[in-house]
């Protein structure tokens, strides 16, 4: 069974950032070689649609057989609201909470991100998982590309 990895926009954008390019591009290469399945959400596509052309092209380069498309549902919207109500992130970081909710509902093996403020942060991960457990969902791993490649 191939690992199912949910990525947020920072991973795709990281392909073009000197600090994050090596690991971000290696993760994309792993998908292109069929080693992993990248979970892409409609939220990710919406965010990337506003990104520079090179970022949009990088996302478009992913082969369909190495990706799984996730469409937002009322269930993940409710979980996102629960994260916000619990103060896991502020209302200004609502999309970050939504990424976690979508990945949680989809039972992703891991969320991969470079977002250290709202996602890849020990205290935030603990708080997301507290809400998940109270709501009857499994805990979710949140890591950087560096930790999974």
What is the three-class DSSP state of 16? coil
Alpha-carbon distance of 44 to 50, in angstroms, equals 10
Q: How many domains does the chain have?
A: 1
- Edge-to-edge strands, sheet with 4-7: 67-70, 37-41, 4-7, 110-112, 142-143
Range of the domain at 114: 4-148
Buried b (16+ CB within 10 A) or exposed e, 110-124: bbbbbbeebbbbeeb
Per-residue pLDDT of the chain (149 residues; tens, 9 = 90+): 999 999 999 999 999 999 999 999 999 999 999 999 999 999 999 999 999 999 999 999 999 999 999 999 999 999 999 999 999 999 999 999 999 999 999 999 999 999 999 999 999 999 999 999 999 999 999 999 999 99
Q: CATH code at 138?
A: 3.40.50.1010
């Amino acid at each position: 069974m191939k690992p199912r990895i949910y990525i947020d926009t920072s991973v795709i954008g990281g392909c073009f950032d000197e600090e994050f390019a090596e690991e971000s591009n290696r993760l994309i290469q792993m998908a292109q070689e069929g080693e992993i399945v990248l979970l892409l959400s409609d939220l990710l596509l919406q965010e990337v649609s506003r990104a520079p052309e090179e970022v949009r092209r990088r996302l478009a380069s992913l082969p369909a057989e190495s990706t799984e498309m996730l469409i937002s549902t009322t269930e993940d919207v409710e979980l996102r609201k629960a994260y916000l109500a619990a103060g896991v992130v502020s209302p200004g970081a609502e999309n970050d909470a939504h990424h976690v909710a979508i990945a949680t509902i989809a039972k992703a093996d891991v969320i991969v991100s470079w977002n250290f403020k709202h996602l890849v942060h020990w205290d935030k991960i603990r708080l997301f998982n507290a809400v998940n457990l109270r709501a009857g969902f499994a805990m979710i791993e949140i890591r950087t590309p560096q930790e999974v490649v």
